[in-house]
């Protein structure tokens, strides 16, 4: 998919900048084809668009220097973490320099007494949780990939725990950000709440690298619950599983995870992770609390599930069984890709108010079934957020067109139901027209005004969110 | 207190604007002295600064028209709700027109299935909860005053329930906002989460009317818990009560309210509301959950309290008793004002990371006791947020100076501990220098750039947050 990117606006990086980056960063600056190619793609179905060079940064000062050098030559700058974006956020569609932050992987502080941690932007969620394992605390936000916290901040990521613990919006306390001219600002404090001026941290959360480059993130941590129980419940059809979810949420049961997998997703993870799950739509659930509280929640949910034709719960009792189950869930995307060798995935990401989830999903399933394209459906349904992955043959333009047409119908239905075109993946290159439909021209003008105020030369990840 | 306000920058409102407002709004526009005087003060200790005229608006279109007219003449516009701001936010220090939104008091929608409500900006929190009383839902944010939701949005308000339910930051889903040129934008959707572009809603939350005027607010609602229990626990001293709070939070007990009152505050509410509470520091707590969950939480907290010298809990068992208790807590400010007839209150509002709360409060109490000025202390201590109210004689400049000096020491200590100068009251006229110390010059420059982008003529509540 080309989407007109690279058509205009690419200025070759001036030799003076290349020399200056080489002088400042030595071997940590590369223009090698392989390195550029590696940084010119993400997990989206877009064609690669490599940058003109890559700087491997190790701290905020290096990011600031690299941005200042690029700013002096009005050259685009793109931050790159784990490379797991799904909407083309990392593609250098206007050329420029990519800053690879994956070496910024130090956990700077774990303040267990204050239930917070400060990490460099390149720390991944699994790394942080590994370092937290003896602290009694954990960091709940878990997009499928082992993304970096910088990237998760940039896309306002969430994942399976958001129904109970919120998203990056709720869990970022403070940020260190390099601005478009190389200045460094620190936003937020260690306090849990504040009314001190504009909420700069929330402005950068979800800005996809277009307003500043996040180099350090202070996040809230949460106590590891005294008791955890995970259960699988199969349903006769997707509609019943969704209706059960709506009843759980409207019943105010504080469920920690409530994930839908359709039969295609179940088959894919069975094949990939040898789970032996019944090949039916299912809810994968987790309950957190005291031992009594977990029991109480599970009983209430089992009753609701039975009302909706759900099976008796199959329990994952040990931490190892739970890990295996959730790892499989997080592998759903990759597992599905393997069901059609050579395919790429066009992913949808709508989120609707919970009362409209059943109609949103039912219409989507009917359309996908009628279209005949291979697909799978997984959902953070407790939030009203679900993903359809259409598995397309990238050599068949009509398949891509069909997938995009299905996506467009799905998004427009979500907007009509009061929802959003993207629950957690961001806009990138893919959702720009939908964002305009969702927010309206005046809100887009406002976003552009903010962009212009913070990045008047438009060097920060240009072409993303709006073109 | 004059703080230099009105010293510069006041331009008389041109007669053409007065004529235009009269033509558009008829009797809903007033320049009467009594009306102007009523809109020229708030609950702060600042001297009044009345606007040049007041428009009583009933809907978004009227606000948009009023703003557009003021913009055409580059005249300041200030939004006014319940008048309960504490930091001078409502004072017309550069003159201009105040828009009284208190007639915008319609609850536009209660969507119980989606657990959200949309209200006009002038709806107050008590009004909303009254309309919700048969829905099984409630709106948790409760600053002491019966503030409007527009005003609460503008100051990023919180209150006693924030420890469990979050602040306006977490509970605003969408806003309708009139911009500086009279355009109307709608931000956010009905979905619980979104990654669709910049978080405009969060930018307006806490912007104190300086970036736009909030006219409609969509907020999350929460299920009324199956069981509620409120308890009072007295402690030998403030330090022990705070240490107990820290243990509750670090122990991850999901307490719904955890309020500290010092002995001065207890005496004041005893006198005002005839409560007969023991005249000792106390924690006023509330537990939400299932019946078993509430029992479990209460037992765990009672054990922690006993470890810290706390009394056996005195329970408020019925809804009426609980209401009486919380009404008294919300009256603490007014009750304390009555203990010194003719006084005004200089209020502090720091919030620190929970591990530093004990040292923050202990040093504050020691300084206040040594200074000899009448004061009281109340705190949303579960969040690390507390308020000292210094009760000053406004005719004694040295008392005001002393209170401000105590406040400055308290704020600087909070900043040194990683906290914020304002947890929930906002910056207004009062915390501007502290905001600069907290955020740093570069972050302030960034806030100014945002202000300039959205309000280039600086007509929206000028002189607030930064001058």
Are B113 and A355 inside 8 Å of each other by CB? yes
Confidence (pLDDT) at B45: 85
Are B198 and A196 inside 8 Å of each other by CB? no
Confidence (pLDDT) at B220: 97
Confidence (pLDDT) at B73: 97
Are A158 and B198 inside 8 Å of each other by CB? no
Are B250 and A425 inside 8 Å of each other by CB? no
In angstroms, the separation between the Cα of residue B459 and the nearest Cα of chain A is: 17
pLDDT category, B12, cuts 50, 70, 90? confident
Confidence (pLDDT) at B177: 98
With beta carbons under 8 A apart, name residues in chain A contacting B431.
196
**Helix (H, G, I), strand (E, B), or coil: what is residue B305?**
helix
**Over residues A213-221, mean pLDDT:** 98
Sign of CA dihedral A55, A59, A60, A61: negative
Confidence (pLDDT) at A467: 85
Would the pLDDT of A145 be above 90?
yes
Cβ-nearest to A185 among B421, B443, B453: B443
With beta carbons under 8 A apart, name residues in chain B contacting A181.
none
Distance of CA B96 to the CA centre of its chain: 24
With beta carbons under 8 A apart, name residues in chain B contacting A197.
206, 427, 435, 439, 443-444, 447, 465-466
Q: Which residue of A has its CA nearest to B424?
A: A195
Are A443 and B187 inside 8 Å of each other by CB? yes
Cβ-nearest to A435 among B196, B427, B440: B196
Question: What are the beta bridge partners of residue A55?
Answer: A29, A99
Are B170 and A170 inside 8 Å of each other by CB? yes
Which distant-in-sequence residues (6+ apart) come within 8 Å of A204 by Cβ? A153, A154, A175, A177, A187, A211, A212, A214
Confidence (pLDDT) at B334: 92
Residues of chain B above pLDDT 70, percent = 98
**Over residues A117-136, mean pLDDT:** 97
In angstroms, the separation between the Cα of residue A423 and the nearest Cα of chain B is: 4
CA dihedral B186→B192→B193→B194, nearest 10 degrees, is: -40
Q: Which residue of B has its CA nearest to A222?
A: B252
Q: Which residue of B has its CA nearest to A294?
A: B293
Cβ-based burial of A247 (10 A; exposed 0-12, middle 13-18, buried ≥19): middle
Which distant-in-sequence residues (6+ apart) come within 8 Å of B346 by Cβ? B45, B389, B390, B392, B400, B403, B404, B407
Mean pLDDT score of chain A, rounded to an integer?
95
Cβ-nearest to A195 among B155, B203, B418: B155
- Could you report the per-residue pLDDT of A158-186, keeping only the tens digit for each? 999 999 999 999 999 999 999 999 999 99
Q: Which residue of B has its CA nearest to A252?
A: B223
**Over residues B249-256, mean pLDDT:** 92
Confidence (pLDDT) at A9: 57
With beta carbons under 8 A apart, name residues in chain A contacting B428.
none
In angstroms, the separation between the Cα of residue B283 and the nearest Cα of chain A is: 20
Would the pLDDT of A1 be above 60?
no
What is the model's pTM? 0.96
Would the pLDDT of B235 be above 80?
yes
Would the pLDDT of A3 be above 80?
no
Cβ-nearest to A189 among B170, B420, B450: B420
Would the pLDDT of A4 be above 80?
no
Distance in angstroms (rounded) separating the CA atoms of residues B283 and B300: 15
Q: State the count of interchain CB pairs (< 8 A) between A and B.
A: 275
- Edge-to-edge, what's the strand order for the sheet holding B116-120? B107-111, B116-120, B213-220, B172-178, B184-187
Are B442 and A250 inside 8 Å of each other by CB? no
- Could you report the per-residue pLDDT of B332-376, keeping only the tens digit for each? 999 999 999 999 999 999 999 999 999 999 999 999 999 999 999
Confidence (pLDDT) at B30: 98
Are B199 and A169 inside 8 Å of each other by CB? yes
CA B101 vs CA B57, B282, B460: distances in Å: 6, 38, 15
pLDDT category, B9, cuts 50, 70, 90? low
Confidence (pLDDT) at A91: 98
Cβ-nearest to A196 among B198, B384, B421: B421
In angstroms, the separation between the Cα of residue A386 and the nearest Cα of chain B is: 12
Cβ-nearest to B193 among A185, A385, A431: A385
- Could you report the per-residue pLDDT of A255-296, keeping only the tens digit for each? 999 999 999 999 999 999 998 999 999 999 999 999 999 999
With beta carbons under 8 A apart, name residues in chain B contacting A460.
none
Residues of chain B above pLDDT 90, percent = 94
Cβ-nearest to A198 among B183, B203, B252: B203
**Helix (H, G, I), strand (E, B), or coil: what is residue A182?**
coil
Cβ-nearest to A440 among B111, B186, B351: B186
Would the pLDDT of A7 be above 50?
no
Token pair recorded at residue A343: 């395919």
Q: Which residue of A has its CA nearest to B464?
A: A197
Confidence (pLDDT) at A6: 46
Distance in angstroms (rounded) separating the CA atoms of residues B290 and B282: 25
Phi first, then psi, for residue B8 (nearest 5°) are -140, 165
Cβ-nearest to B384 among A191, A356, A443: A191
**Over residues B47-71, mean pLDDT:** 98
Would the pLDDT of A224 be above 50?
yes
b/e code A214-237 from CB counts within 10 Å (16+ = b):
bbbbbbbbbbebeebbbbbbbbeb
Confidence (pLDDT) at B6: 46
Are B184 and A449 inside 8 Å of each other by CB? no
Mutate to test the interface with A, among B138, B143, B153, B193 (most CBs of A within 10 A): B193
With beta carbons under 8 A apart, name residues in chain A contacting B166.
170
**Over residues B114-124, mean pLDDT:** 98
Are A200 and B447 inside 8 Å of each other by CB? yes
Token pair recorded at residue B104: 């915008």
Are B197 and A439 inside 8 Å of each other by CB? yes
Cβ-nearest to B196 among A205, A211, A422: A422
pLDDT category, A27, cuts 50, 70, 90? very high
Are A449 and B452 inside 8 Å of each other by CB? no
- Of A72-81, A269-278, B1-10, B63-72, which gets the smallest average pLDDT? B1-10
Are B207 and A191 inside 8 Å of each other by CB? no
Sign of CA dihedral A332, A338, A340, A341: positive
**Over residues B290-317, mean pLDDT:** 95
**Which residue bears the tokens 């956990």?**
A107
Would the pLDDT of A126 be above 70?
yes
Q: What is the DSSP string of B379-444?
A: EEGGGTEEEEEEEE-TT-HHHHHHHHHHHHHHHHHHHHTT-BS-SSS--TTTSHHHHHHHH-HHHH
**Over residues B108-113, mean pLDDT:** 96
With beta carbons under 8 A apart, name residues in chain A contacting B187.
439, 443
With beta carbons under 8 A apart, name residues in chain A contacting B422.
194-196
Strand B97-100 and strand B77-80: the pairing is parallel
Are B195 and A184 inside 8 Å of each other by CB? no
pLDDT category, B398, cuts 50, 70, 90? very high
**Over residues B378-395, mean pLDDT:** 96
Nearest 5°: the CA angle B271, B277, B278 is 115
**Over residues B94-120, mean pLDDT:** 97
In angstroms, the separation between the Cα of residue B463 and the nearest Cα of chain A is: 13
Q: Which residue of B has its CA nearest to A158?
A: B193
Cβ-nearest to B354 among A114, A167, A425: A114
Would the pLDDT of B4 be above 60?
no
**Over residues B244-257, mean pLDDT:** 93
CA B317 vs CA B202, B234, B289, B331: distances in Å: 38, 17, 15, 21
Distance of CA A422 to the CA centre of its chain: 10
Token pair recorded at residue A350: 């709508």
Structural domains of chain B ordered from first start: 15-103 (3.30.43.10), 107-223 (3.30.465.10), 228-334 (3.30.70.2190), 340-428 (3.30.70.2740)
Token pair recorded at residue B451: 């202000």
Are A355 and B114 inside 8 Å of each other by CB? yes
Q: Which residue of A has its CA nearest to B246?
A: A113
With beta carbons under 8 A apart, name residues in chain A contacting B185.
440, 442-443, 446
Q: Residue B28 carries which DSSP code?
A: G
In angstroms, the separation between the Cα of residue A316 and the nearest Cα of chain B is: 24
């Amino acid at each position: 998919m080309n989407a007109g990117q690279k058509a205009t606006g690419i200025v070759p990086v001036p030799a003076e900048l290349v020399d200056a980056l080489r002088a400042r960063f030595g071997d940590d600056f590369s223009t090698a084809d392989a390195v550029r190619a590696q940084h010119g793609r993400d997990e989206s179905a877009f064609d690669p668009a490599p940058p003109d060079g890559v700087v491997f940064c190790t701290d905020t000062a290096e990011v600031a220097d690299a941005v200042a050098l690029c700013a002096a030559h009005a050259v685009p700058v793109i931050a790159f973490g784990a490379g797991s974006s799904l909407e083309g956020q990392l593609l250098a569609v206007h050329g420029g320099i990519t800053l690879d932050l994956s070496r910024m992987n130090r956990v700077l502080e774990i303040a267990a007494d204050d239930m917070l941690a400060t990490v460099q932007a390149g720390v991944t969620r699994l790394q942080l949780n590994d370092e937290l394992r003896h602290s009694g605390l954990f960091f709940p936000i878990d997009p499928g990939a082992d993304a970096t916290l910088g990237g998760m901040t940039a896309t306002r990521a969430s994942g399976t725990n958001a129904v109970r613990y919120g998203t990056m919006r709720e869990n970022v306390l403070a940020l260190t950000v390099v601005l478009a001219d190389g200045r460094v600002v620190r936003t937020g404090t260690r306090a849990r709440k504040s009314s001190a001026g504009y909420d700069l941290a929330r402005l950068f959360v979800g800005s996809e690298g277009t307003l500043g480059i996040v180099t350090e993130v202070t996040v809230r941590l949460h106590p590891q619950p005294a008791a955890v129980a995970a259960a699988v419940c199969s349903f006769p059809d997707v509609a019943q599983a969704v209706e059960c979810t709506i009843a759980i949420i409207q019943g105010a049961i504080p469920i920690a995870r409530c994930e839908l997998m359709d039969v295609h997703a179940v088959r894919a993870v069975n094949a990939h992770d040898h789970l032996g799950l019944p090949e039916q739509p299912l809810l994968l659930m987790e309950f957190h609390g005291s031992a009594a509280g977990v029991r109480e929640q599970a009983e209430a949910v089992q009753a609701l599930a039975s009302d909706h034709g759900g099976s008796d719960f199959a329990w994952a009792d040990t931490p190892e069984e739970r890990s295996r189950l959730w790892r499989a869930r997080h592998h759903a995307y990759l597992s599905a890709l393997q069901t059609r060798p050579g395919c790429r995935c066009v992913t949808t990401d709508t989120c609707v108010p919970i009362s409209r989830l059943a109609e949103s999903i039912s219409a989507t399933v009917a359309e996908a079934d009628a279209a005949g394209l291979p697909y799978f459906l997984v959902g953070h349904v407790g939030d009203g957020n679900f993903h359809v992955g259409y598995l397309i043959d990238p050599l068949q333009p009509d398949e891509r067109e069909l997938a995009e047409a299905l996506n467009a119908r799905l998004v427009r239905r979500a907007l009509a139901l009061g929802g959003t075109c993207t629950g957690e993946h961001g806009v990138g290159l893919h959702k720009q027209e939908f964002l305009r439909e969702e927010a309206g021209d005046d809100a887009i003008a406002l976003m552009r005004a903010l962009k212009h105020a913070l990045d008047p030369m438009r060097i920060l990840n240009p072409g993303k969110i709006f073109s």
